[in-house]
A and B are shown apart, each in its own frame.
Chain A
Amino acid sequence: MLMKLLPAWKELEPGCVVTTPGSSVNYKTGEWRSYYPKTDEDKCIACGMCWIFCPDASRRMVKRKNPKPGDLYSVYFDFNFQFCKGCGICASECPTGAITMVQEQAR
């Protein structure tokens, strides 16, 4: 599939220069992932440590899916499945143990 979409050698820009700024968002590195970071939103204290450490800017602040009365935070940090490579740094850094790495097929 990718082989058919990509340019032939004559069509490559000289030196493989990328002339379209911001085009890396079209490269979905999430396809590499074999484990994904499952986040328990009840344990997440929205400290943003995972957001700071994520090497691919794949952590994002989202609204809690199951808000309960008395919640300290209306948001928690989840992952962007299009770009998360599943490296597990977020799970390793999370101070509350809210993130568990889960094998993709078991999802």
Chain B
Amino acid sequence: MSHQAVSEKRIGLEVSLAVAEAVKLADVDAIAAYPITPQTHIVETLSEIVANGELNAAYIPVESEHSALSACLGTIAAGARTFTATSSQGLALMHEMLFIASGLRMPVIMAVANRSLSAPLSIWGDHSDVMANRDVGWVQLFVENGQEALDITLSAFRIGEDKRVLLPVMVNLDGFTLSHVVESLIIPDESKVRRFLPPFEPLFRLDPLNPIMIGAIGIPEIYTEARKALDETLTASRIVVDETFAAFKNIFGREYHCIETYRSNDAETILITMGALSGTARLAIDELRSQGESVGLVRIRLWRPFPFDDIRAALGKAKVVVVFDRAISPGGPGGPVASEIRNALYSLEPRPKIVNFVGGLGGRDVRAKEFIEMIRTAKSKADAIDPLLYTMVGVRE
């Protein structure tokens, strides 16, 4: 198939290919990647685009994800706009390099087609991979549909490369249920993309005429300050995320926020989701609303930096908050999203009851009727449910 960008025309495209299209439109200089299910179509398409001469970039095939991100750090250090993509075991293999990318303030942009971790061996989707990499100091976004995957990938370059941020950005899209579906979407016009996304101007770059050192040792008298600077910078990147979404709306007309609310303004019970299952959750909200129930949905798009204020504003008046997690912290408090929501709401008085459900693990489907069941259970038993316990959706007892 041809990868020529079509000027603002609505076409049917597999979401992985839409992400590749966004990377092409961003005019990246370097891509280093290793194929892994369910991310493979993204880099496979990109290697084709580069080989066809449609994108003037270095495509570096490597022998592992550890090497993929290492190569990306090299190209960024030389001042190249850089992209990679991975999934599951691949993200796990990148783990130590993830810290180095953020610590060195190198804005690698990465798509993660979210997938479970072995064992047992599973190639199917959930959020276990990204949640095990929650604290690596990257900006982390979750998308729900194909258009958003394309738009947010474009936005990620502008967010990460902003001189106030200079941090790597992870765009999370659910493996298979989003990465492999064909959706109707708009490919943005290239001239608009040029207006939205200025060329990458690194603060520092490797240059023999102006020698610098990247990656020096941080002795105990430096490391604490370095970690504080990383936390403050990542937290402050929120402003740039908002500015980027505002600029995106101005140029492309599509509107994004750090969280999305759906029929939740006056809702007594609010469901919280991240990622592609939010579409199914919206069906459940509509069904319950049609039966006169006061329910709404809050979808978290920006996971790091975590939008604490938005969450408090959106959930503060609710009586019951139902948090749906696609990952679990074994031996801990249930799902990682619920953990964050408890943190966000604890200081409120009165605060909503929080009920946590963990489901959709390893690709198991969660249907609208199951979301309805979760909301009904939470509403009727909120007072009786121990907030530190979670319920595993659909598990065979």
Contact = CB atoms under 8 A, between A and B. Distances in A.
Interface of A: 2-3, 6-10, 12-19, 21
B262 interface: no
Interface in B202-242: 203-204, 211-214, 216, 218, 221-222, 224-226, 228-229, 232-233
B166 interface: yes
B387 to A, nearest CB: 35
A74 to B, nearest CB: 37
A10 B213 contact: no
Contacts of B232: 9
Given A14-B203, A14-B204, A16-B216, 17 more contacts: A3-B221, A6-B221, A6-B222, A6-B225, A9-B224, A9-B225, A9-B228, A14-B105, A15-B103, A15-B104, A15-B166, A16-B104, A16-B226, A17-B214, A18-B213, A18-B214, A21-B211
Contacts, number: 52
A4 to B, nearest CB: 10
B136 interface: no
Contacts of A17: 104, 204, 212-214
Nearest to A11: B225
A19 to B, nearest CB: 5
A7 B216 CA distance: 15
Contacts of B211: 21
B106 interface: yes
B225 A8 contact: yes
A9 to B, nearest CB: 4
A8 B228 CA distance: 10
A10 B212 contact: no
B229 A12 contact: yes
Contacts of A8: 225
B221 A15 contact: no
